[in-house]
Structure formats: C-alpha cells, structure tokens
C-alpha cells in the first residue's frame, strides 16, 4: 500500500500532500505520544514536520497512551457504561450517544487490537488530547501544527465506513461559507464544510485500517489552520479553535435524533398535557400532518370515523369558546352554583382560550352496524368511541413529534349541539373534546416514572 499521496500536478494549480508516518511502535499505557510521533516524523528520509502541517492521529493510540484500556469480560457491559442515550437498536447492534457526545456504533468501545478480556474506550476528552499533542510537538520540535484525532464511523444512508474527527486543535473544524456567493453569484445560505472530517478521511487513505500506520501528515492546506498558537503552550490555541466538539449537532438541530422504534417511544413520552403556550403562530401544515397520523389508528369495519375541525382564525375560536362558556354557565347555574363558583369554574377553560390554535376532533360513525337490542348497539357505539380515542392519541403524539404542545379538553362533549351549531357541522358529527395546540411556554414538569408491571395481570 502506498503511504504517500500528492494531489498537486505541477502547473495545474493548488494541491496538498498526505503521507503516513512509519516507525510508530505498539503504544502502551503511559507512553509519551509526543516523543513517539516526533521520533517518527524526524526519521531519515521523511520530510519532518513544518508550520502549517496537520497531524492526523488515530484515536486508538491516544486511548492506549492515556490508559483507556479496561477489563471487560462482557463488551456489552462496557458499552452500557459508556452510553448516555440509545439512538437506535437492531438486534445486538446499538447506535448510541456516548459520554463524549458522539453518536456512533457501540459507543466507540473497541475489542480489537487490545489484549483478550479487555476493551478500549475512546479518549476521555479528545479535544484536550489534541491540544496536548499540539503543545507537546510545539515544545519538542518548535513547529506549529494542527492536530486531528480521528475514529471510524458508519453514516446514515451511506454504506461503508470512514474516518471522522473526534478531537481537534489548531484546525478550523468547520468552514462557514454562509454569506458568500458561488461562481455564478448565487448566495450561499447553508454551506458549512466539515473541514476536520475531510482531513480525517484524507489521512485514512494512507493510514489504512490494518497497516499499523496510526499517524498521517497533511501538508499544503494552510487555510485550514487557526491563527498561530499562543506563546504559552497551556493557553487556548486561538479564538476560533473550538475543537471537534463543534461538529456534533445538538438535539435542537438534529432532525434524525432517533431510530424508528426509539422515535416512536420518545414521541409517546414527549406527549404531555401543556396548559400554557407562547404567542408563536402554529404551522397549519404540522397540524395537518398530525391529522394524517391520526387516520392510521385502528377502527371497526374498515371505517374512518375521524373528522377534525381546525380553528385557525382567532374569530372562529372566540365565537366557539364564547358560545361554550355561555352554555356551561347556564348548566352551572341550573345546578345551583353561586356566581362566584360559576366564574371560578369558567376560568378552567382558559387553556383553550389562551391557545393560538384549536382542533375539535369529531366522531362520525359511518359504517356502524345497526343492532335491534341495546346491548349490542351499545357495544357497537363503544367500538367507535375507542377508535376515536386511538385516533386522537395518534394526533397528540404526532403533534409532540412536531414540537407542538397540546391539551385535550373534554368540554365540547358537554355541549355538542352548541358546537355543531356554531361550527355548522352535520348532525351526525359528535365533538369529542377540543385540543389546544401551541408552542409550550415552559418545559414540562418532571413526572414520576410508572412501572408497567403495576398495570399488568398475567393469566
């Protein structure tokens, strides 16, 4: 295998050179990586290291030098300890978020190239490890180099593996081109290049996976460096030297945070009753997608007993809620409640009035079987009611998946005729409550975890 790639062709424009450093021995806990790399870089016949070079270091030797080898008769147990969150699972394979914030298979726990009965963990802080290597080489060789610590990742939607950066120092890990223009003058609004990952992949072309060449050097790309390092080797390596941590998307920006089954469970967990909303407008498209999810619920006789009335205008919401308030007040007065008590109970409806969007789910029992006796007729009705509840649950979960809060309130069921009249609904549409929808004004309060065993009987 060639260990040297030169992309430049004389007279044709810019290029770069990348080569592997031979001669690095098997690394053991406590070894001085700076000394090992410096010796390999200055061995006879090699070009050495120069200012502006980028050193590409396989994470495995960093982990070994830092003593990240642990005894583990069961690799799965080690993965459990390093896992913060399961992203997706298929059989024994787990894609997880690990303690370093990286999302990868098996939390980066490696059982290869390490003694039997042990596993190798990723460096505790890969960015700190990169900074230490950079500072050490500056002291040992008097050169200002960038350092990228890489590990092997699989990728969604793409077959095969590639090296990516998990630690960096002295390198612009992201090249933000937003605000510029392309060759045709078109504005660039979304282009942020993962420079550190591109460097890691370039190094892997000459290091290989089984060639015992854990370190490579890239020369000829000075634009990827941050500003020169500070004189003090312990100080920050430039104001824009943010490290590879900046490559990890946070939860708010990650559109693919979970695998399929995990996403379903997470969405169900996220479905919480929200009673206070911001004034932010609600995307009607998101609500319509939630309606589509509602229609996947089971229903008797292959029917579709769900209808959703979407109150998108403030006028429609006010008109309905005023009419419902008057009907409820009349009922309360007829029950003998005082005016003070009536007013207090009416305030409970504020969750609907303060929401920027309302939906009124309705039951339409098209296709219901007609039975001559009350017992079977009641059971038939209950089947449709249960199906309607299943559809509304789908609706609420889908809203949570759209990051919308909701509160399902039963009030329309107590004045169905009023609701039908105000909304001009057919007589066979039965309102099944109302759903307040909006952006939550605050994070939901913690609620106790319910043990499923408390709700199960086995026969």
Task: Answer whether 164's CB lies under 8 Å from 148's CB.
Answer: no
CATH code for residues 260-455:
3.40.109.10
Q: Are strands 103-105 and 93-98 parallel, antiparallel or unpaired?
A: antiparallel
Note the Cα 453 to chain centre separation in Å: 30
Q: Which residue has the tokens 């490696």?
A: 110
Backbone φ, ψ for residue 149 (5° rounding) = -100, 125
Q: Which residue has the tokens 């589509």?
A: 292
The sign of the CA dihedral 135, 136, 139, 143 is negative
Residue 232 is predicted with a pLDDT of 43
Task: Using alpha carbons only, give the angle 45, 205, 133 rounded to the nearest 5 degrees.
Answer: 65
In angstroms, the CA 253 to CA 48 distance is 41
Residue 234 is predicted with a pLDDT of 44
Please state, in angstroms and as integers, the Cα–Cα distance from residue 177 to each residue in 136, 174, 189, following that order. 32, 9, 8
Read off the pLDDT of residues 431-450 as tens digits, 9 standing for 90 and up.
Answer: 999 999 999 998 877 778 88
Q: Where are the domains of the chain?
A: 4-68+122-247, 260-455
35: how many CB neighbours lie within 10 A of its CB?
A: 11
Element (DSSP H or E) covering residue 163: strand 158-169
In angstroms, the CA 137 to CA 155 distance is 32
Residue 210 is predicted with a pLDDT of 64
Residue 235 is predicted with a pLDDT of 44
Print pLDDT tens along the chain (459 aa).
Answer: 445 666 655 555 678 999 999 989 999 999 999 999 999 998 877 778 999 999 999 999 999 999 999 888 778 889 999 999 888 887 778 889 999 989 899 999 988 878 888 999 999 999 999 999 999 999 999 999 999 999 999 888 889 999 999 999 999 999 888 888 888 888 887 788 899 999 999 999 999 766 789 999 999 998 899 865 454 444 444 445 789 988 888 877 777 777 767 677 767 777 888 889 999 999 999 999 999 999 999 999 999 999 999 999 999 999 999 999 999 999 899 999 999 998 888 887 788 999 999 999 999 999 999 999 999 999 999 999 999 999 999 999 999 888 899 999 998 999 999 999 999 999 999 999 999 999 999 887 777 888 889 999 999
Residue 236 is predicted with a pLDDT of 43
Task: Answer whether 417's CB lies under 8 Å from 324's CB.
Answer: no
Rounded (10°) CA dihedral 152, 156, 160, 162: -30
Could you name the CATH architecture of 4-68+122-247? 2-Layer Sandwich (3.30)
Residue 25 is predicted with a pLDDT of 92
């Amino acid at each position: 295998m060639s260990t040297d790639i030169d992309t430049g062709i004389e007279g044709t424009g810019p290029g770069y050179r990348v080569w592997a450093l031979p001669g690095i021995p098997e690394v053991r806990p406590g070894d001085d990586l700076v000394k090992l790399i410096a010796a390999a870089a200055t061995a006879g016949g090699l070009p050495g290291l120069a200012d502006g070079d980028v050193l590409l270091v396989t994470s495995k030797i960093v982990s070994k030098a830092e003593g990240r080898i642990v005894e583990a008769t069961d690799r799965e147990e080690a993965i459990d300890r390093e896992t913060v969150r399961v992203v997706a699972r298929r059989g024994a394979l787990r894609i997880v978020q690990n303690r370093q914030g990286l999302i990868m298979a098996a939390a980066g726990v490696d059982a290869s190239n390490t003694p039997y009965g042990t596993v190798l963990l990723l460096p505790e802080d890969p960015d700190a490890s990169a900074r230490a290597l950079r500072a050490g080489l500056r002291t040992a060789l008097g050169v200002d180099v960038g350092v990228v610590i890489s590990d092997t990742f699989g990728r969604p939607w793409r077959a095969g593996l590639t090296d990516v950066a998990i630690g960096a120092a002295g390198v612009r890990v992201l090249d933000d081109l937003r605000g510029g223009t392309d060759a045709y003058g078109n504005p660039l609004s979304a282009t942020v290049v993962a420079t550190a990952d591109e460097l890691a992949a370039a190094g892997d072309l000459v290091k290989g996976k089984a060639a015992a060449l854990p370190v490579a050097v890239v020369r000829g790309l000075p634009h990827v460096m941050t500003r020169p390092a500070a004189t003090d080797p312990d100080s920050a390596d430039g104001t824009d030297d943010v490290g590879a941590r900046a490559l990890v998307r946070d939860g708010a920006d990650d559109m693919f945070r979970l695998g399929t089954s995990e996403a379903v469970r997470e969405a169900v967990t996220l479905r919480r009753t929200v009673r206070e909303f911001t004034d932010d407008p609600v995307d009607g498209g998101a609500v319509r997608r939630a309606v589509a999810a509602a229609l996947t619920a089971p229903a008797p006789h292959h029917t579709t007993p769900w209808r959703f009335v979407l109150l998108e205008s403030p006028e429609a919401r006010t008109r309905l809620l005023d009419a419902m308030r008057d009907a409820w007040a009349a009922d309360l007065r007829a029950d003998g409640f005082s005016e003070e008590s009536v007013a207090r109970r009416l305030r409970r409806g504020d969750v609907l009035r303060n929401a920027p969007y309302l939906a009124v789910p309705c039951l339409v029992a098209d296709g219901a079987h007609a039975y001559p006796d009350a017992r079977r007729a009641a059971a038939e009705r209950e089947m449709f009611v249960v199906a309607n509840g299943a559809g509304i649950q789908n609706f609420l979960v889908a809203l949570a998946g759209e990051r919308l809060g909701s509160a399902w309130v039963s009030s329309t069921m107590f004045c169905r005729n009023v609701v039908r009249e105000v909304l001009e609904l057919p007589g066979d549409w039965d309102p099944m409550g109302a759903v307040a929808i909006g952006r939550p004004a605050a994070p939901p309060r913690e609620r106790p975890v319910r043990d499923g065993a408390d709700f199960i009987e086995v026969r």
